[in-house]
Amino acid sequence: MLIYDLRKNLKILNRRFKVPADYDEDYQKQISLILKSCAKQHAYLQQFMDKNINNHDFMNFVGTLLFVTASFTAISMIYIVMNRLRPKYDIPLVLLSVLIVIAYLLYCHYGQTLMNECEFFYDALYSTPWIYWNKENRNLLLTILTLARKPLAVQFYGIMYVNYSMILSAVRLCYSIFTIAHKL
């Protein structure tokens, strides 16, 4: 939700950043207010991520649980398909497996969405017509750009980011385990 509020403010910001014919004091005040609002939202989002997401044992537990269950369900689905499907026993397992894989995909998708929106935020600020602003607004923009340079991201135990590359890691792990199990 915070991400989409930030995007909405960036759309407003981009509409208001249009360069007027004169660069009066009111224009500079509007720019200053918008930049301060963006800085507050980004700082709040950073604080929220640090406090509630990245340093939280529950989120790491959920990520671990989803990663392990999605990997084993993918392996079991492949095993079931290769060794003939028995509808009475295997259909509920396949449905449960599909639901777990979907939950894992959504977990990774939201992590990727957060990274994409933060990169959009940085790019939107970077492409502003800053050359028409006064010194105070330029310094404020530089401060925000410095803070927003590295996109916010959900981390999995501080080892890897929760994004689409985590899906590829799970697929590689499933494939490796399946090939080892198939050779045995």
Q: Rounded to an integer, what distance in angstroms lies between the CA atom of residue 161 and that of residue 116?
A: 13
Per-residue pLDDT of 7-63, as tens digits, reads 666 666 666 666 665 667 888 888 888 888 888 888 888 887 777 766 666 666 777
For 129-140, the pLDDT digits (tens) are 888 888 999 999
Chain-centroid distance of CA 100 in Å reads 20
- DSSP-derived 3-state class of residue 18: coil
Strand intervals (E) in the chain:
155-156, 160-161
What is the per-residue pLDDT across 56-87, written as a single tens digit (0 to 9) for each?
Answer: 666 667 777 777 777 777 777 677 767 766 66
Residue 4 neighbours by CB under 8 Å, 6+ apart: 117
pTM, two decimals, is: 0.74
73 φ, ψ to 5°? -70, -35
